[in-house]
Amino acid sequence: MGGLAKSAGRAVKRVTKTLLSPFEGKKTKIDIPDLPEPPPAPPEAEVMPAPDDEAVLEARQRSVARQRRRRGRASTILTTPGGGGDTLGG
């Protein structure tokens, strides 16, 4: 196996040397275009209110309290449109 690896290595060297022979001794200058200026930095992000702010928590508690007041049997008793205090069906 060692002999096969050596002969393959020699073949690769010969092919590489043959392919690169037109470029030996020639030095070419490559023109590199000027790079554009980098884009400006993005503006600072605005701070969004956190969902656990005091105002948000208080509003949530008020909403839950209103929902609790609307439930139960008392919320289903129908009254007369004039608000005379008489209940319908009861």
With contact defined as beta carbons under 8 Å apart, do 77 and 87 qualify? yes
Question: By percentage, how much of the chain surpasses pLDDT 90?
Answer: 8
Report the pLDDT averaged over residues 38-65. Answer: 85
The pTM (predicted TM-score) of the whole model is 0.29
Which backbone phi and psi does 85 adopt, to 5 degrees?
Answer: 95, -15
pLDDT of residue 61: 92
Helix (H, G, I), strand (E, B) or coil at 88: strand
SS3 per residue for 24-83: CCCCCCCCCCCCCCCCCCCCCCCCCCCCCCHHHHHHHHHHHHHHHHHCCHHHHCEECCCC
pLDDT at 63 over 90: yes
* pLDDT value of position 14: 81
Whether residue 27 is predicted with pLDDT greater than 70 in this model: the reply is no
Residues 6 or more apart whose CB falls under 8 angstroms from that of 85 comprise 79
